[in-house]
Amino acid sequence: MTDKELSKEKPVKYVIIPVSTVGCGKTEINICLNKLLPGSKIVKNSDYSHSSSFYSACVHALLLDGINVVILNKNNHRSFHRSQVLSAFQKALGDNYDIKYICLDYLSDTDQTSSNFKDIAKSSISRRSGKEGNISGNEYSDAKVASIIDHFTKDFQKLDISSETNESFDLVLKLKPFEPEYHNNLKKISKELNETYPDLLPSIPDDKKLEELLKDIFTNTNKEDQKNTK
């Protein structure tokens, strides 16, 4: 029996990996996907003090009963981070599961170093207050928020799908950052997931459903929004 045939017999699991910086909207999209995808669970990087603990939690989550999708709430803004994610899952589960790695690339066509990008990111974080996964406008001063954004944007490394590490992604979806694009991002993700992995998303939600999900994020309290993301 060939390796390909053996792979087909393995249970399929999915890992959704954002590539972004703070304020791009990954947390909001992740929460929506958590509600759209049956058997999904978000693991938040901000809940762990060390990367190794975070990756272990992600692997553990994918082994929980009823869970076949893990959504990483982490920016993965450097190539090294993406490599760590793929390596952690492959080493722990690769022999027993056919893992599909789905990348949500928020910054493929965006200049994250521009002053306009940083201003929008800062405004986005301030509006969302405690809903931002890494930092929030009510926790830090404007200067501190600006400093954190600057740190992420300087360290950011664009996704290069021709590199050995990033070739491991089974599906790469190019998205656009910030709030006006949330609806379009969700539509694109839903369409691509339904077409590529119909078992993951059997039907495409209509515009009304997507609007309801987004409205729920911005009207409910932070505690209610995040209750299923740990």
Q: Give the residue with greater pLDDT, 128 vs 114.
A: 114
Question: Does the pLDDT at position 32 exceed 60?
Answer: yes
Number of H helices, E strands in the chain: 9, 5
Mean pLDDT highest for which of 10-14, 77-81, 108-112, 148-152? 10-14
Residue with tokens 């995040």, as numbered in its chain: 226
* Domain regions of the chain by residue span: 3-113+157-215
The average pLDDT across 219-229 equals 48
Residue with tokens 């599906």, as numbered in its chain: 171
Length of the chain: 230
Question: Does the pLDDT at position 129 exceed 80?
Answer: no
C-beta atoms surrounding 213 within 10 Å: 21
Torsion on CA atoms 50, 56, 62, 63, rounded to nearest 10: -150
Both tokens of 1, joined, read 């029996």
Question: Does the pLDDT at position 141 exceed 80?
Answer: no
The CATH code for residues 3-113+157-215 is 3.40.50
The average pLDDT across 65-75 equals 97
pLDDT at residue 2 in the model: 52
Q: Give the residue with greater pLDDT, 23 vs 100.
A: 100
77 class by beta-carbon count within 10 Å (0-12 exposed, 13-18 middle, 19+ buried)? buried
**Distance separating alpha carbons of residues 62 and 45, to the nearest angstrom:** 15
Both tokens of 59, joined, read 């692997």
pTM confidence score = 0.83
Q: Give the residue with greater pLDDT, 87 vs 94.
A: 87
pLDDT at residue 178 in the model: 78
Calculate what percentage of the chain has a pLDDT beyond 70. 76
